[in-house]
Amino acid sequence: MSKMKPSPISPLAPKKFPKLPPIAGVSFGVAATHSYYKGRDDLLFMAFPQGTKCAGLTTRSSMPSAAVEWCRAHLPQGQARALLVNAGNANAYTGKAGAKHAESLAKTAAHVLPCPLEAVFMASTGVIGKSLNLPPLTRAISKLEPKLSAKADWQKAAQAIMTTDTFPKMATCKVKLGKAEVTLNGIAKGSGMVAPNMATMLAFFFTDATLPPSVLRILLRDAMPSSFHAITIDGDTSTSDTILFFATGQTHHGAPIRGAKDARLRGFRKALHALMHDLAQQIVRDGEGISKFITVKITGAKSNLSARQIALSIANSPLVKTAIAGADANWGRVIMAIGKSGEPTNRERLKLRIGGISIVRRGAVLANYNERPVARHMQGRHILIEADIGLGKGCAEIWTSDLTHDYIRINADYRS
Amino acid sequence: MSKMKPSPISPLAPKKFPKLPPIAGVSFGVAATHSYYKGRDDLLFMAFPQGTKCAGLTTRSSMPSAAVEWCRAHLPQGQARALLVNAGNANAYTGKAGAKHAESLAKTAAHVLPCPLEAVFMASTGVIGKSLNLPPLTRAISKLEPKLSAKADWQKAAQAIMTTDTFPKMATCKVKLGKAEVTLNGIAKGSGMVAPNMATMLAFFFTDATLPPSVLRILLRDAMPSSFHAITIDGDTSTSDTILFFATGQTHHGAPIRGAKDARLRGFRKALHALMHDLAQQIVRDGEGISKFITVKITGAKSNLSARQIALSIANSPLVKTAIAGADANWGRVIMAIGKSGEPTNRERLKLRIGGISIVRRGAVLANYNERPVARHMQGRHILIEADIGLGKGCAEIWTSDLTHDYIRINADYRS
């Protein structure tokens, strides 16, 4: 059982939470199973109508959780009828028993709905290596089924999947698709063990649009580089990262859309990207112990990949992150992080700006460099670091949090 | 001027400091230049007799300091007459002015000794990107010269090169070489910005043996993988890392040694390696904010390089380091770190031990796993993490520190 004291809400939490509207065809409920947490919901059970299509992306960890493997096995069919998410236990590194537990969860949902087993998707987040306490979960699934409702509160869904998160992450929009207007809802969780290529991060998207799995997959994938792949909290990548996108097909918008290049998708594509961007930034805003939101922009690198590696070298550097936590305009540590990246750089060509203020030229600090406006920028909640490498056209943008006493407090106490 | 409060001495500091004997031919002195620190020595000036040979290794950062570039330019000749080390300012990312400052330092030493300019070596450690305050340094060099002494206290030398270090790092031994006994002394500094491939780390070795630069270089290089390349504090690599090895040639041990394969070098090679191993571990023992010394041993990887990457993925993981700081037997985070390494691994074949106690088998925790002895091990000062990947014969060992509140305190306050 967790002895974790809840953290105060992040200073970078949104001031207002959006009210998510219903999505035609989506009904859900939440429950407190008491299997890990006390006194809070920790299970989300969602049901979708026949014909719901889905696509998804999962962690690049070589130690994937049982839920991740379950999803991978069934994503190719692209048919979804249910989503189960439990918080507190990741069911990761739990061997054959863990795989059986995942199957039991799916079987329970498939039995009570009823629906085909392979149409049940799931995600588990929490402690790694601990056997799932199955009976409270299966009991809760059975009890929830009659109560699943299209009018249920989406904020409760976003809260039920939280672990060390300090606020629920939600986003929504309406967009024209062909002849109709459709709705897009997204919920996510993530706070630590968050690094590019999927983090301890779950995100689920829902729409009433009618789209085949192949289109859902391409739309998701195309929006990743400037959303969930652009964030890092601590450079640690989870065993359980999962993004799933469900389209219930309850709204018809003219002739079927068969490919991602269909011109009618333009607005929808933008809307999905905006939602993903918003939720990815919300995850950083809730980065464990965050006091400042940091944007690292690299231009002029040899390639986009090289720019990304340089940006990550800065964003994951403990010395850069602690300097920012201390509101210290210590740009020398950014130089250090660029120098250690292993990427092609040139000391004399590098340009560095913090808070929009130029700092270096020809391998040294500018003669007229005035630290005062940079120091003032460092006092704020949003820190902008921009480096132009001066070697090519590669660019990248990464968002991260600072490294504070609260990160240590949260992570030296979490679990036992 | 530094506002840094001095940290209390590391709990992992050696109980006793060795007394370093004189090295025939080496004389030195230290001074407080007040150019950065108040009330402490921050300049080391050493002189060597004619015929002194040297070799060295410098940072792999693409943003090397002026002192690093100075050493690189003159190491190929392998002739040394002086060593200058200043603490507080790294003279890194200081452009052409920085290069001129380095030259001025060397010129001052070459003038007062006197000796050829290219026989002066130097290292600078401290803040990056700040222009060196030259006059106090050159004045101190001139003033020190008449006071250089073969009987000077080596502990003072080791103290004068410290930055955030909490204790001076020294090692010494005597060893038979051919017909004679020679002495080996080593001093080092390093506490943060320490990662493999040389860290914010300076180390200097001195011997009275008579050895050519090529042999010195090979001996240094061969001992690196299991000494200075096996340590990481924070994964951050400095612009200023320098290791130099000086042989004064004051002791003659029979026929000249021309190659590193000379059988007479066997004991000397071992002794140097022991010194390097000792000093590298001392640097970790003084890792910023350290409360526990962590050894990560990987076996059974596809290759030694792959083993090293996996070991570093564990050793640099903020979540592993904070769990250990909290004495939490959270082995799931070690699994996470192995999974995110990007190296070939196999979940079912992996074996993991903490404190010598087996934890997993076939992709799950052992049925009879008892956390109590692991929890007890985690309470200690020395933490041992061993993973067998089960795929090959690659192995590696890395030493690191935990990630504590004190690391944040030190690094969020350092500099301004």
> What pLDDT does residue A6 have?
63
Judge if ipTM > 0.90: no
A interface test, pick of B127, B340, B347 with most A CB neighbours within 10 Å: B340
Catalytic residue among A200, A242, A295, A404: A200
Residue of B nearest to A314 (CA): B236
- Say yes or no for a CB contact (<8 Å) between B415 and A328: yes
Residue of A nearest to B198 (CA): A340
Chain B hits for A164, CB-CB cut-off 8 Å, are none
- Name the strand (E) or helix (H) holding A407: helix A405-413
A140-149, A209-218, B388-397: least confident range: A209-218
> What pLDDT does residue B273 have?
92
**Residues B101-105, mean pLDDT to the nearest whole number:** 98
Q: Report which residue type is found at A314.
A: I
CA distance B162 to B174: 25
- Say yes or no for a CB contact (<8 Å) between B330 and A414: yes
Contacts of B135 (CB under 8 A, 6+ apart): none
Chain B hits for A366, CB-CB cut-off 8 Å, are none
A178: phi then psi, degrees, rounded to nearest 5: 60, -125
- Say yes or no for a CB contact (<8 Å) between B61 and A340: yes
Residue of B nearest to A93 (CA): B364
Chain B hits for A60, CB-CB cut-off 8 Å, are 340, 342
CA distance B171 to B151: 17
Query: What percentage of residues in chain B have a pLDDT greater than 70?
Result: 95
Contacts of B296 (CB under 8 A, 6+ apart): B311, B314, B315, B385, B386, B387, B397, B398, B399, B400
- Say yes or no for a CB contact (<8 Å) between B340 and A236: yes
Looking only at the bridges linking them, the beta strands covering A360-361 and A364-365 are: antiparallel
DSSP letter string over B293-345? EEEEEEEEESSHHHHHHHHHHHHT-HHHHHHHHTT---HHHHHHHHHTS-S--
CA distance B110 to B223: 32
| Active site amino acids of B | 200
Chain A hits for B95, CB-CB cut-off 8 Å, are 362-365
- Say yes or no for a CB contact (<8 Å) between A235 and B316: yes
Read off the pLDDT band of A193 (50, 70, 90).
low
Read off the pLDDT band of A133 (50, 70, 90).
very high
Among the partner-chain residues B319, B340, B344, the one whose CB lies closest to the CB of A192 is B319
> What pLDDT does residue A37 have?
86
Chain B hits for A335, CB-CB cut-off 8 Å, are 63, 92-93, 128-129, 239
Residue of B nearest to A127 (CA): B332
Chain A hits for B362, CB-CB cut-off 8 Å, are 95-96
- Say yes or no for a CB contact (<8 Å) between A335 and B236: no
Among the partner-chain residues B94, B318, B335, the one whose CB lies closest to the CB of A63 is B335
Segment B165-179, tens digit of pLDDT: 889 999 999 999 988
Query: What percentage of residues in chain B have a pLDDT greater than 90?
Result: 66
Read off the pLDDT band of A295 (50, 70, 90).
very high
**Residues A311-338, mean pLDDT to the nearest whole number:** 91
- Say yes or no for a CB contact (<8 Å) between A411 and B63: no
SS (H, E, C) A324-382: HHCCCCCHHHHHHHHHCCCCCCCCCCCEEEECCEECEECCEECCCCCHHHHHHHHCCCE
Segment A229-278, tens digit of pLDDT: 887 777 677 778 888 999 999 999 889 999 999 999 999 999 999 999 99
Nearest CA among A193, A197, A199, A203 for reference residue A171: A203
Read off the pLDDT band of B5 (50, 70, 90).
low
- Say yes or no for a CB contact (<8 Å) between B318 and A363: no
Segment A80-100, tens digit of pLDDT: 999 999 999 999 888 899 999
- Say yes or no for a CB contact (<8 Å) between B347 and A93: yes
> What pLDDT does residue A199 have?
40
**A347/chain B closest Cα distance in angstroms:** 6
A71-75, A202-206, B21-25, B235-239: least confident range: B235-239
Segment A29-62, tens digit of pLDDT: 999 999 888 889 999 999 999 999 999 988 888 8
Among the partner-chain residues B62, B129, B413, the one whose CB lies closest to the CB of A365 is B129
Provide the mean pLDDT of chain A: 90
- Say yes or no for a CB contact (<8 Å) between B360 and A129: yes
CA distance A173 to B95: 51
The answer to whether B265 touches B177, Cβ cutoff 8 Å, is yes
Among the partner-chain residues B322, B328, B363, the one whose CB lies closest to the CB of A408 is B322
